Structure 1
Amino acid sequence: MIFNVSASTLYRHGPYGHNGAMARQYDNTDVFRGASFTSATFAAAEFRDCDMRQIKIVDSVLVDVNVSGDVRNFLVNDVDVTPFVEAELNRRHPERVQLQEMRTADDYRAMWDTIERLWLETVARAERLPESARHERVDGEWSFVETLRHLLFATDAWASRTILDEPMPFHRLGLTQTGYPPADAAALGMDLDARPSYVAVMEARAGRMALVRGIVDDLTENELARMCTRAPAPGYPEEPRSVGSCLFVVMIEECEHRRYMVRDLAALEAR
């Protein structure tokens, strides 16, 4: 399907709402797959949790654009900027390099030491803010409390369920990724609409951090290579995963979400 759409044509012709403006919300759709937009205006548009592979943008104006996610082979004016971005992220967050260089059980233990230290610093920083700020979203991203809730889910899925083979380890306050079906999350006992206090989430978080600490403290080279057969959660691919690969997911979730929180805490502190 090809769409050659000008901004004026979009306004004059459908599909649009009663006020003549095009619909503002598109969820769980592939209607734009393979589409072509010419002279269309996407100013102030937001794309979240979208598959944007093989997009080509030509002769367009990109000013004040913010892109985050799994970014690879990203050409800007025929220059792949990915290596520059990765190098700068690694400079700002050296734990990313430590994470990528993990090989042995001792490496995993050292990495968890780093994660615990970094989160202690970040939590202390968050606790200098008012309680309301810890629940506040910056630019529509998860709040500090929501981020900790998501890390509950990540630990339950990749540590308790896969590594420890527990069928239903999910905490009620866990928060799944945006694209996970809410009905499936509810079936696992999670209350996505809960509005827990910071203290309640931190209590649950402490238990999950201790659980991973126990796993890495007992980790051996043989255990690192052991294959886990239970999927992290219903809907995930049913395939064998090593203990090492599952721990890697837990740790990259910890590192990347902390990076987001450092960014957002700076914005909250600036206020």
Structure 2
Amino acid sequence: MTDLTDRDLAGANLERVNLREAHLTRVRFTDARMRSVDFSGADIRGSLFAGTRVRGAELVDVTIDGELRNVVINGVDVGPLIEAELDRREPERTLLRASTPEEFGRAWTTLERLWQGTIERARTFDAEILHRSVNEEWSFIQTLRHLNFANAAWVDRMILGELSPWHPLDLPWDEAPGWDGIPWDRQARPTLDEVLAVRDRRTASVRRVIEDLTPEQLEATVTRTEPGWPQAEDFPVRTCLWIVLVEQWEHRRYAERDLDILANEEG
């Protein structure tokens, strides 16, 4: 088995190469050119396809979960079509596009209500099942840990200025580069109540920010250049809150999907 760990292959020419069942992690294909490449059965996660062109392709039995902007398929920008269909299926999803303090308030209240129902449903499962991964995705417990991390990053750190708001159970996304001083224990197995205790504090922090939000604050920007993450200059407060809303919405959707699968397995 060839090991190409930490190798610089810039400009490499791979021709008639078999990468079947290969594992590629943190690999950059920026400006790469691929011809006659077979991706059948490939599993690609945490990837950026900005400016990518796929031509003469056959997309059959393909599943794509992600952010779609200016995605043109056979001459049709499919992004708005997909957004409209998702809104039709779940009308409350339109709240994610909040633009005023009042709209952010309604969005957050709705998300807390929806998540309460999901958590109550999760309590009906055996505790061990809540640590079970579905299709190599996060378990239910890990999902809550990640959302705790997201709330801390975008509200406690970025908006409130707490430079190191982390809890030992916080969980960054899998493809994150890693930072000194930020916990990242994917293998931890806390109880649901332990994670919810952290969640209660974090959601209360978000709620206070949104309840006190003024139009002027919503138009403001924040700068955080201190060690840690996120680091950004003149970053809109509005975008910080949008990120939190979307994270809560999408991960709840994934959690409900996986609970459905786990329920059928336990059947």
Is 1:196 equivalent to 2:190 in the alignment? yes
Aligned residue for 2:157? 161
Aligned residue for 1:130? 126
Select the residue among 20, 23, 26 that pairs with 1:25: 23
1:189 CA displacement: 4.0
Cα distance in structure 2, aligned partners of 1:181 and 1:193: 17
Structure 1, unpaired ranges of 5+: 12-20
Report the 3-state secondary structure (helix = DSSP H, G, I; strand = E; otherwise coil) of the residue aligned with 2:17: helix
Change (3 A) 1:190 1:138: closer
Change (3 A) 1:189 1:132: closer
* Cα pair 1:160 1:169 within 8 Å, conserved: yes
Cα distance in structure 1, aligned partners of 2:135 and 2:211: 38
1:190 CA displacement: 4.4
Cα distance in structure 2, aligned partners of 1:130 and 1:228: 43
Amino acid at match of 2:216: N
Is 1:252 equivalent to 2:246 in the alignment? yes
Aligned residue for 1:18? none
Aligned residue for 1:50? 47
Select the residue among 83, 90, 108 that pairs with 1:93: 90
Aligned residue for 1:41? 38
Structure 2, unpaired ranges of 5+: 1-10
Moved more, 233-242 or 139-148: 233-242
- Per-residue Cα deviation, 1:35-56 (whole angstroms, up to 9, x for no partner): 2131x33221111111223333
1:34 CA displacement: 1.8
- Per-residue Cα deviation, 1:207-229 (whole angstroms, up to 9, x for no partner): 11111112222222233233322
Cα distance in structure 2, aligned partners of 1:247 and 1:164: 12
Moved more, 132-141 or 155-164: 132-141
Moved more, 22-31 or 156-165: 22-31
Aligned residue for 1:144? 140
TM-score normalised by structure 1 residue count: 0.84
1:234 CA displacement: 2.6
Aligned residue for 1:16? none
Moved more, 122-131 or 49-58: 49-58
Amino acid at match of 1:241: F
Report the 3-state secondary structure (helix = DSSP H, G, I; strand = E; otherwise coil) of the residue aligned with 2:82: helix
Change (3 A) 1:231 1:199: farther
TM-score normalised by structure 2 residue count: 0.85
Is 1:62 equivalent to 2:59 in the alignment? yes
Is 1:10 equivalent to 2:17 in the alignment? yes
1:259 CA displacement: 1.5
* Cα pair 1:135 1:146 within 8 Å, conserved: yes
Change (3 A) 1:263 1:240: same
RMSD: 2.4
Moved more, 246-255 or 214-223: 214-223
Aligned residue for 2:203? 209
Cα distance in structure 1, aligned partners of 2:161 and 2:230: 15
Aligned residue for 2:256? 262
Report the 3-state secondary structure (helix = DSSP H, G, I; strand = E; otherwise coil) of the residue aligned with 1:10: coil
